[in-house]
């Protein structure tokens, strides 16, 4: 099963890119983030014509997540547990069934958290991560095969940035942010890309400003975290870097993994 994640940065703007990626990479499951629209404005007809079922947790102009699947989608849950007052469309989770086997998949758009001196944004990011840790702990107790995929807005280590010194005052690279990432891994989750490739220079995001793409001044913030049973089946990964060179691209590129 090929599972991919992609912050598409406006699904209506990037519709042609999305359809081209589905045709090119043929993922079984694609988790999308930053749809930036409500469900009724998502091009579900074109997605279904491409052979995919789709479930959406959308929001006007901001956020928005979705799961696309070639296979049946069941047990859909929207919103990260732990705060009923959180109205942001940042989390959707579902079970994908194929050949009698079930894999739980979540699409995550973790809060950015900047600026760090804002008394709401950075604390919201950290509280959201605490809720994610608690939910992951609950999922692990069920011993399911699951994948938590998405734009985490976390640079886990200095080598995950071309210029780590440029991020020391950014919420993506704060000690509190990275400690919560380590807490997720300490639960028993596996960073799929790092399990396959320990190289430097693996990036998934290049800013639109200052020629970041042309200079390869990137960061790795799009991740797939695997439960132990999923990690046991990990067969490979790909960062689809070439999409960043397409006309009017997202500033993120897809990341995919293969599970046996």
Distance CA 178, CA 161 (A): 13
**What does the pLDDT look like over 32-76, one tens digit per residue?**
999 999 999 999 999 999 999 999 999 999 999 999 999 999 999
CA distances to 7, 106, 132, 188, 259 from 146, rounded to whole Å, are 20, 8, 14, 12, 11
Sign of CA dihedral 90, 194, 234, 185: negative
Q: What is the DSSP letter of 168?
A: T
Helices 121-141 and 175-186 cross at an angle (nearest 10°) of 0
Residue 75 among known ligand-binding residues: no
Q: Does 9 count as an annotated binding residue?
A: no
- pLDDT of residue 100 exceeding 90, the answer is no
Give the 3-state secondary structure of residue 83.
coil
Decide if pLDDT at 237 tops 90.
yes
Element housing 136 (H / E):
helix 121-141
Question: pLDDT band for position 99 (50/70/90)?
Answer: confident
The pLDDT score that the predictor gives to residue 30 is 98
Q: Residue 252, annotated ligand binder?
A: yes
CB 17 within 8 A of CB 45: no
Tally the domains of the chain: 1
Cα 162 to the chain's mean position, in Å?
20
For residue 125, what are the domain limits? 2-259
pLDDT digits (tens, 9 = 90+) for 137-181: 999 999 999 999 999 999 999 999 999 999 999 999 999 999 999
Q: Which residue has the tokens 């090929």?
A: 2
- A 10 A CB-CB count for 129 gives 24
pLDDT at 98 (0 to 100): 87
Query: Any idea which residues carry the catalytic annotation?
Result: 109, 151, 252
Residue 232 among known ligand-binding residues: no
Instruction: Read off the CATH number of the domain in which 37 is found.
Output: 3.60.10.10
- The residue with tokens 């919560």 is 180
């Amino acid at each position: 099963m090929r599972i991919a994640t992609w912050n598409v940065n406006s699904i209506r703007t990037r519709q042609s890119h999305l359809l081209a990626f589905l045709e090119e990479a043929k993922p079984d499951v694609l988790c999308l983030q930053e749809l930036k629209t409500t469900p009724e404005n998502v091009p579900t007809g074109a997605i279904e014509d491409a052979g995919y079922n789709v479930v959406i947790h959308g929001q006007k102009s901001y956020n928005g997540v979705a799961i696309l699947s070639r296979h049946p989608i069941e047990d859909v849950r929207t919103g990260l547990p732990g705060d009923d007052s959180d109205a942001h469309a940042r989390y959707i989770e579902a079970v994908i069934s194929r050949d009698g086997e079930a894999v739980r998949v979540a699409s995550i758009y973790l809060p950015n958290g900047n600026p760090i001196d804002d008394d709401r944004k950075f604390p919201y990011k950290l509280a959201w991560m605490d809720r994610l840790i608690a939910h992951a702990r609950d999922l692990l107790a069920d011993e399911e095969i699951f994948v938590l995929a998405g734009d985490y807005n976390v640079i886990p280590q200095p080598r995950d940035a071309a210029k780590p010194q440029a991020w020391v005052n950014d919420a993506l690279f704060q000690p509190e942010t990275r400690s919560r990432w380590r807490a997720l891994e300490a639960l028993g989750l596996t960073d799929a890309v790092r399990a396959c490739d320990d190289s430097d220079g693996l990036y998934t995001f290049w800013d639109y400003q200052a020629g970041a793409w042309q200079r390869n001044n990137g960061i790795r913030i799009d991740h797939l975290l695997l439960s132990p049973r999923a990690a046991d089946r990990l067969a490979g990964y790909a960062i689809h870097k070439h999409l960043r060179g397409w006309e009017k691209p997202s500033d993120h590129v897809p990341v995919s993994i293969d599970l046996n």
